[in-house]
Amino acid sequence: MLRIFSPRIVSVALLACAVAVAAVAQDTQYPPQGQQIPAPDCTFQYHAWGSIPQLGCAPYAHERWLLDLEHWRSERRIRTAFDPSRYALPAFQWTQSSFMQPQMMVQDRYFYDPVAGRYTVDRYLDDLEKRYGGIDAVLIWSTYPNMGIDDRNQLQMVESMPGGVEGVRQMVADFHRRGVRVLFPMMMWDEGTRQPDQPWPDAIAALMKEIDADGINGDTQDGVPLGFSLAAEKIGHPLVFQPEINPSDEALSWNVMTWGQYNFPFTPMVDRYKWLETRHMVNISDRWNQDKTSDLQFAFFNGVGWESWENVWGIWNGINPRDAEATRRVATMERGVAPFLVSPEWEPHYPMHNYGVFSSRWPLGQQTVWTIVNRNGFDFKGRQMSVPLTPGMRYFDLYHGTELKPEIEGNFTVLSFDIEANGYGAVLATPKEPSDAIKTLMRRMAELTKTPLESFSHAPSVLPQNLVDIPPTRPADSAPEGMIRIPGGAFVFTVQGTEIEGDAKDGVDVQYPWEDSPRRFHEHEMTVAPFYMDKFPVTNAQFKQFLDATHYAPRDTINFLRDWGNWGDGAFPAGWDNRPVTWVSLEDARAYAKWAGKRLPHEWEWQMAAQGTDGRAFPWGSAWDGANVPVPQTGRVMTGPDPVDAHPQGASPYGVMDMVGNVWQWTDEFQDEHTRAAILRGGEYYRPQGSLWYFPQAFPNYQHSKLLLMAPGYDRSGGVGFRCVRDAQ
């Protein structure tokens, strides 16, 4: 039978006892598990096999737990000399209601239109507003997984975005115009590419000021050091810093946001940092999970936000319709009661009547809000919670947008309302008429909740990809100059992607026309038509002939022929005539090929030319031989590839040269609704050191790497060249 819980009044004896026990335990009987603090034992957070779940806690059990947490919080603040001053800065106030924040790849096709050559911020935001209610901030991801394919560092990757620094600044202004704050990432593991000309904290702060960004996400960082905050404040542009991984409690003074990479037991756990400072904002990040119910429920219970991340390194893990609608409702409620959700009197795990229904109490003056989640797979109707009797208090079901009719039982008021399976609830207690803002919230929620969440599909889906067509050339009846005939025929095309993350999940890598979804591992028996392939990659001298003949000038000139210096003078570095041309985009390579009466190869054509039909691992045979490729360059600045004919012993079975280890080579392009990507073959000479996160190599014939595409200036690289093919009669 349900216990009627006492109001939160603890006797002096109970207080003394709890403090004594906590002192023995040195901080707490409920030590945090990473970023999360366990719930009271009586909530049966972990169900042992054969145990019988109980309903509610014994008298004072919840109070003891809460007192223990308060004691721990007080002591931790003292131990860490906690300074809350940054949470009061006007520049950082936006963080306290920044609930929905996606990590957005710059390659997302809703964000940038490469055909029109412009940012499409409104299109991106309108899509999110339509699908799940919009966002409060965005983390614009401009680096990994492309970084390391050349010597551009993380800041230069931002500068390579369309329009350069000024274009990025205007794009940030477009987000600000829509009320969305903007963060960029910083990667302190990026110590293998170019060194900035000033210390990293100063260099990052300077660029963020120039583009008017609001904050920084510390990728892989367990707290962003204070020096980064001080560097930004020194130049008059304070930045919010949001580490990915658990910072120290001391760092909470300057890291006013964090990610939350949670465990999700049945009973919600309390966020450690939110508990230490209720103005701290957490965005729960759970990138690969296809069911976001726990993310949203733990966020709502803790009064924090969610990293609504769908484009994961070009791998689409879209929010399903039910989770999207739940996101819309959670975000609407959290934005509507945001001032309550920073209450220093937050009381997590306020006692509820029904098993598996959990709430947090958020007092603010004479008013209180409860955020409620149902962790069960079934509905609850009727009696949900009891509160101490307060004459004149009115109660409102914010989730359904109605006023409640309380029942008086002794010294308690019993509140009854419905809560869906795996659903949400919110209650407001107020002694006066609700504010206009609350009335607006209730009208909005009443409209939204006319349709139950169960009406929306909860099934995951995989975004299909299409292979971009490569038009055939005019067939040749004999080998054009500088080309070698590849006879074609039966070929078993076997290849796998080198993506660092994603494992073998459905949706990783690419989808060939004979497959029904993207995947990492591919094998297909096919017949390849005969064709001619360039014996060598296209050289600087050959590309100069193209420029001289056509006066080609790309619309997006960022990084075009970057290693030539002033490419408009038409002069490449002395002695570089026979080296592969690099710093050319896929569009640049296609323009050259069209001028030459050729085309870029399909990936299986490239692989057949490199592999023959005997399945060899490398063009020259089955074993790696470092003498057949350039000496790897591991410094922080690229010095340029070897001449294309420098390693004749590396020839393929057909005599095609320089296929592996000098420069990557453009082949096929794949597109889905949100991402474009090109398949690169062959690997390169440049190998930045110090991190496993740099763009992965793919030297064996059975591997390829996938380069996410945004715009020509961003896509160009000192590690990527190309060679051409021509169809044969």
| Order of all β-strands in the sheet with 407-409 | 383-388, 412-416, 407-409
Q: Give me the pLDDT at residue 56, please.
A: 63
**Residue 21 in this model has a pLDDT that exceeds 60:** no
As a whole number, mean pLDDT of residues 488-511 equals 96
Q: Give me the pLDDT at residue 708, please.
A: 98
CATH number at residue 145: 3.20.20.80
Rounded Cα distance between 568 and 584, Å, is 14
**Residue 568 in this model has a pLDDT that exceeds 90:** no
Rounded Cα distance between 180 and 134, Å, is 9
**Residue 384 in this model has a pLDDT that exceeds 80:** yes
Pairing of strands 664-671, 466-467: antiparallel
The Cβ of residue 524 has, within 10 Å, a number of other Cβ atoms equal to 14
User: Within a domain: residue 540?
Assistant: yes
Q: Give me the pLDDT at residue 23, please.
A: 42
CB 397 within 8 A of CB 404: yes
User: Within a domain: residue 705?
Assistant: yes
Give the predicted TM-score (pTM) of the model: 0.94
**Residue 13 in this model has a pLDDT that exceeds 50:** no
The Cβ of residue 639 has, within 10 Å, a number of other Cβ atoms equal to 11
Signed CA dihedral, 561, 563, 569, 571: sign only: negative
**Residue 57 in this model has a pLDDT that exceeds 80:** no
For 595-605, how does the pLDDT look when each residue is reduced to its tens digit (9 = 90+)? Answer: 999 999 999 99
Rg (CA), the chain: 30
Confidence of residue 15 (pLDDT cuts 50, 70, 90): very low
User: Within a domain: residue 99?
Assistant: yes
H/E element, 496: strand 489-497
CB 716 within 8 A of CB 562: yes
Tokens standing for residue 216: 């920084």
Q: Give me the pLDDT at residue 54, please.
A: 57
Q: What is the mean pLDDT of the chain?
A: 94
Number of structural domains (the chain) is 2
Q: Give me the pLDDT at residue 16, please.
A: 42
H/E element, 204: helix 200-211
For 211-268, how does the pLDDT look when each residue is reduced to its tens digit (9 = 90+)? Answer: 999 999 999 999 999 999 999 999 999 999 999 999 999 999 999 999 999 999 999 9
Domain of 482, in residue numbers: 466-727
One-letter amino acid identity for 52?
Answer: I
Residues 82, 83, 84, CA angle at the centre, nearest 5°?
Answer: 110
**Residue 153 in this model has a pLDDT that exceeds 70:** yes
**Residue 65 in this model has a pLDDT that exceeds 80:** yes
CATH number at residue 660: 3.90.1580.10
From 210, 242, 260, give the residue that closes a domain: 260
CB 581 within 8 A of CB 539: yes
The DSSP secondary structure of 397-441, one letter per residue, reads ETTTTEE---EEETTEEEEE--B-TT-EEEEEEESSPPPHHHHHH
Residue 454, C-beta contacts closer than 8 angstroms, at least 6 positions apart = 322, 420, 421
CB 240 within 8 A of CB 211: no
For 666-703, how does the pLDDT look when each residue is reduced to its tens digit (9 = 90+)? Answer: 999 999 999 999 999 999 999 999 999 999 999 999 99
User: Within a domain: residue 648?
Assistant: yes
Tokens standing for residue 263: 């465990």
Rounded Cα distance between 469 and 286, Å, is 35
Share of the chain above pLDDT 70, in %: 94
Q: Give me the pLDDT at residue 433, please.
A: 95
Q: Give me the pLDDT at residue 565, please.
A: 86
User: Within a domain: residue 559?
Assistant: yes
Rounded Cα distance between 93 and 337, Å, is 15
Q: Give me the pLDDT at residue 438, please.
A: 98
Rounded Cα distance between 18 and 472, Å, is 80
For 621-644, how does the pLDDT look when each residue is reduced to its tens digit (9 = 90+)? Answer: 999 999 999 999 999 999 999 999
Q: Give me the pLDDT at residue 45, please.
A: 43
Residues 15, 277, 233, CA angle at the centre, nearest 5°?
Answer: 150
Bridge-partner residues for 412, per DSSP? Answer: 388, 409
Which of helix, strand or coil describes residue 125? helix
Q: Give me the pLDDT at residue 9, please.
A: 38
Q: Give me the pLDDT at residue 60, please.
A: 81
Confidence of residue 461 (pLDDT cuts 50, 70, 90): confident
CA end-to-end span of the chain, whole Å? Answer: 85
Q: Which stretches of 80-163 are DSSP H helices?
A: 121-132, 154-159
Phi-psi region of 44 (alpha: psi -120 to 50; beta: other; left: phi over 0): left
Rounded Cα distance between 62 and 348, Å, is 10
From 199, 227, 260, give the residue that closes a domain: 260
Q: Which of 68-72, 459-463, 655-659 shows the lowest mean pLDDT across its residues?
A: 459-463
The DSSP secondary structure of 663-674, one letter per residue, reads -EEEEEEEE-SS
From 242, 260, 278, give the residue that closes a domain: 260
**Residue 1 in this model has a pLDDT that exceeds 80:** no
Pairing of strands 215-218, 240-243: parallel
HSE at residue 287, side-chain half, CA atoms within 13 A, is 15
User: Within a domain: residue 33?
Assistant: no
H/E element, 606: helix 603-611
Q: Give me the pLDDT at residue 7, please.
A: 42
Name the residue among 135, 134, 110 with its Cα closest to residue 123: 110
One-letter amino acid identity for 675?
Answer: T
CA-based diameter of the chain, in Å? 99
Confidence of residue 337 (pLDDT cuts 50, 70, 90): very high
User: Within a domain: residue 660?
Assistant: yes
User: Within a domain: residue 594?
Assistant: yes
Rounded Cα distance between 610 and 624, Å, is 14
Rounded Cα distance between 384 and 644, Å, is 75
Signed CA dihedral, 169, 175, 178, 180: sign only: negative
- Position with higher pLDDT, 233 vs 63: 233
**Residue 130 in this model has a pLDDT that exceeds 70:** yes
Q: Give me the pLDDT at residue 52, please.
A: 55
